[in-house]
Amino acid sequence: MTDTSADLVILGGGSGGYAAAFRAAELGLSVTLIEKDKLGGTCLHRGCIPTKALLHAAEVADSARDSEQFGVKTTFDGVDIAGVNKYKESIVSRLYKGLQGLAKAHKVNLVEGTGTFVGGTTVEVDGQRHTGKNLLLATGSYAKSLPGLELGGRIITSDDALTLDYIPEKVVVLGGGVIGVEFASVWASFGVDVTIVEALPRLVPNEDEFASKQLERAFRRRKINFKTGVRFTGAKQDDNGVTVSLESGETFEADLLLVAVGRGPNTAGHGYEEAGLAMDRGFVPTDERLRTNLPNVYAVGDIVPGLQLAHRGFQQGIFVAEEIAGLDPRPIDEAGIPRVTYSHPEVASVGLSEDAAKEKYGSGVQTFTYDLGGNGKSQILKTSGAVKLVKAPDGPVVGLHLVGDRVGELIGEAQLIYNWEAFPEDVAPLIHAHPTQTEALGEAHLALAGKPLHVHS
């Protein structure tokens, strides 16, 4: 077996790995991409894409069930989970085939197998060594559990939840972050009795407090139960169900316990520490140019401390390819990466929360909240929510936070506003088509610029 060499060797074929591979190939570099499972990684096969397919199916179920509020009579006969799974898998399959075609078109040397970092810039797969002038580590993440909580049976992760072939009657969701609230939202739309347990004081605790309150209000209306500020103490399961215990003394009976306490860096067993790579609680620290402590070794995606988002890894992969090619790309501003929780309603944000802005800029931070009750398209969609802006003292808008159905589609404009360091006066003159939900962004900036039209100043 002949060892190989390339300009860039990449360990991991998820969003960060394949983006780096394709961009590097475009720039004329030779690339070897090593992946033990399927090209596309967590996002395509076990994360973003399949969960959003489930969420769209859930939206269709809600539309059918609630159609009379729009004057349309339909009959809702239930959810065919086999049909939902077929729909979900068809999307994943089509995108996977597209990625495989792109890998061939870019002439990327795709190596299937488990890679071990053996030092320098070399990765070994099944006895064969692949050495690059540069090495990129992009091994992704896995669904975490809690110490002492054994997974299996009726205690499942999000990976397991995506492959369920039945709809449970009652579920307890452990964790009120993005993954937890998205699955809770799906199951509630499918008619499941859902209870979320979150140890921190509010749902989606990494978002602005305003967004948490908006989501919690919406979940109460949807009869999604949640317990915040209380710790989980244990779970017992038998053939009939699972009993979940909380520190408060409360217990909940359910068919399933979904453990949604976040994702851990997939770095164990790859030879990282043995090769001398600096580690921090399983993560791989990098500088702003995504360099590790080892020469010509880079890291991207979920193994790098920070937001665990597919589009972050994707952009980081492009950055590393351009860095290696000598293009001197601009470092990525982590706060400028948009974040979306695709529950019903959606939560979307970019930039700083109000608290983070006050910590950075002091008490002179200004905020403005525009209620979607004043937005025509939101009323047509029968969604409630709001847009909140956070502005630095005598400075630009540094945070944008949105809650409401479909607001994830507005985050593109929001991230341009943040990343261009726009002042309210820069955005206020821009014309937003009527009737669209983007008008809510326009109205909020008009108000902060001192020209409130559809709101009381």
In this structure, the strands spanning 256-259 and 366-371 are unpaired
Residues 6+ apart with CB under 8 A from 67: 73, 74
Cβ atoms of 35 and 161 within 8 Å: the answer is no
Which residues contact residue 96 at a Cβ distance below 8 angstroms, ignoring those fewer than 6 apart?
38, 39, 40, 44, 45
Beta strands 346-351 and 397-404 are antiparallel
Q: Which residues partner with 226 through β-bridges?
A: 196
Query: Which one from 45, 130, 311, 434 is the annotated catalytic residue?
Result: 434
Whether 45 is catalytic: no
CB atoms within 10 A of CB 377: 17
Residue 250 among known ligand-binding residues: no
d(CA 81, CA 57): 10
Does residue 180 have a known ligand-binding role?
yes
- The C-alpha torsion from 87 through 92 and 98 to 104, rounded to 10°, is -150
Is residue 271 part of an annotated ligand binding site? no
In this structure, the strands spanning 256-259 and 170-174 are parallel
The closest of 231, 226, 235, 261 to 248, measured between CA atoms, is 231
Q: Which of 224, 179, 218 lies closest to 345, judged by CA?
A: 218
Domains and CATH numbers, the chain: 4-142+264-334 (3.50.50.60), 155-261 (3.50.50.60), 345-448 (3.30.390.30)
State the Cα–Cα distance between residues 42 and 45, nearest whole angstrom: 5
The number of residues in the chain equals 457
Instruction: Confirm or deny that 179 is annotated as ligand binding.
Output: yes
The single residue listed with the structure tokens 């665990």 is: 308
pTM over 0.75: yes
Q: Which parts of 362-436 fold into alpha helices (H)? A: 376-381, 411-419, 424-427
pLDDT 10s digit of each residue in the chain, 457 long?
568 899 999 999 999 999 999 999 999 999 999 999 899 998 889 889 999 999 999 999 999 999 999 999 999 999 999 999 999 999 999 999 999 999 999 999 999 999 999 999 999 999 999 999 999 999 999 999 999 899 999 999 999 999 999 999 999 999 999 999 999 999 999 999 999 999 999 999 999 999 999 999 999 999 999 999 999 999 999 999 999 999 999 999 999 999 999 999 999 999 999 999 999 999 999 999 999 999 999 999 999 999 999 999 999 999 999 999 999 999 999 999 999 999 999 999 999 999 999 999 999 999 999 999 999 999 999 999 999 999 999 999 999 999 999 999 999 999 999 999 999 999 999 999 999 999 999 999 999 999 877 665 4
